[in-house]
Structures are given as structure tokens and as C-alpha cells.
């Protein structure tokens, strides 16, 4: 099974979701002072969206910094998006953007910290994804 990497802001929704998955995961720290981790195996990245009304700034600078590292970028295999449907057409915009930019599939989108159904779907989906992609 491959890895899981995520960013979560102070609101902690993505952190709660990943904790509920119960899978080993690497967190990109909120503060640059705490450093930027290096992935050591293929991974799926969980990307919450923080956009202004026009979709700008939708991806955290911490995620951009993480992906600017070529080693990290090379090991990226897929994206899971976090968002809120209240944002309409911009739902999960940041995750869609990163998936397109890095040419990897957007595997799933969930709202806030996800429902128990999201947790089940992502656990099963990741297991299948890594079976098919390793």
C-alpha cells in the first residue's frame, strides 16, 4: 500500500478525516518553521481548497512548496479533495487544479471532515488503487 500525505489548516477538517481513515499519513505542517516533509514512497495527496470568489489562491502555499520539491512531485500518484459544496462551481477547485497540473487522477472529493460513508469509500478506494498501481 502506498502512502498518504495531507495538509490541514487550523480548522482541522482534513486532519479529522485522515485520522478517521486510520491509515498511516504524513502531515505537511501548517507553519513553514516546522519544515516540509519528504515523501519516501508513492503517495496520494489530500488537498483542501481555500479559494477567494474567483478561485484564486485555492491551494495552500504549504502544498505548493511541498510539490515544488521534485522528489515529492515524482512520487505523487493521485489526489483526494477536501471542500464544501457551498462554494458551488469552486467545490474542490484546488484539488482539481493540482490533479490537472500534476497529471494525476482526482480519486475522490469530500466535504469538510467527511461522513462515515466517505471514510469507507476512501479506505476501499485506496486499497483498490494501490492494488492496481503497485
Ligand X SMILES: Cc1cc2nc3c(=O)[nH]c(=O)nc-3n(C[C@H](O)[C@H](O)[C@H](O)COP(=O)(O)O)c2cc1C
Least distance (Å) between residue 34 CB and ligand X:
16
Tell me the window of 49-57, 65-73, 97-105, 118-126 that interacts with ligand X (CB under 6 A).
Answer: 49-57
Q: In what helix (H) or strand (E) does residue 16 lie, and over which residues does it extend?
A: helix 13-21
Give the whole-angstrom CA distance, residue 134 versus residue 122: 18
Q: Is 83 helix (H, G, I), strand (E, B) or coil?
A: strand
Q: What residues between 104 and 133 interact with ligand X by CB under 6 A?
A: 112
Backbone angles phi, psi at 92, to 5 degrees: 60, 30
Torsion over CA: 113, 88, 78, 75 (sign): negative
Residue 9 lies near ligand X (rule: CB under 6 A): yes
Q: Which of 4, 28, 51, 76 binds ligand X (CB under 6 A)?
A: 51
Least distance (Å) between residue 62 CB and ligand X:
10
Of 45 and 51, the one with the shorter C-beta distance to ligand X is: 51
Of 63 and 76, the one with the shorter C-beta distance to ligand X is: 63
Q: Which residues contact 6 (CB under 8 A, 6 or more apart)?
A: 14, 15, 18, 25, 26, 27, 28, 45, 46
Least distance (Å) between residue 33 CB and ligand X:
18
Of 91 and 130, the one with the shorter C-beta distance to ligand X is: 91
Three cell numbers, residue 53: 470568489
Residue of this chain nearest to ligand X (CB atom): 83
Which residues are at the interface with ligand X (CB under 6 A)? Answer: 8-9, 11-15, 48-51, 58, 82-84, 87, 90-93, 112
Amino acid at each position: 500500500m502506498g502512502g498518504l500525505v495531507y495538509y490541514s489548516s487550523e480548522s482541522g477538517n482534513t486532519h479529522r478525516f485522515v485520522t478517521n481513515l486510520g491509515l498511516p499519513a504524513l502531515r505537511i505542517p501548517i507553519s513553514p518553521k516546522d519544515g516540509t516533509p519528504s515523501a519516501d514512497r508513492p503517495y496520494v495527496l489530500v488537498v483542501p481548497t481555500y479559494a477567494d470568489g474567483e478561485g484564486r489562491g485555492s491551494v495552500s502555499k504549504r502544498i505548493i512548496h511541498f510539490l515544488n520539491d521534485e522528489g515529492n512531485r515524482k512520487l505523487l500518484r493521485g489526489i483526494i479533495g477536501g471542500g464544501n459544496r457551498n462554494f458551488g462551481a469552486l467545490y474542490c477547485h484546488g484539488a482539481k487544479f493540482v490533479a490537472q497540473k500534476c497529471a494525476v487522477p482526482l480519486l475522490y472529493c469530500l466535504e469538510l471532515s467527511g461522513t462515515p460513508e466517505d471514510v469507507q469509500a476512501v479506505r476501499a478506494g485506496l486499497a483498490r488503487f494501490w492494488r492496481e498501481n503497485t
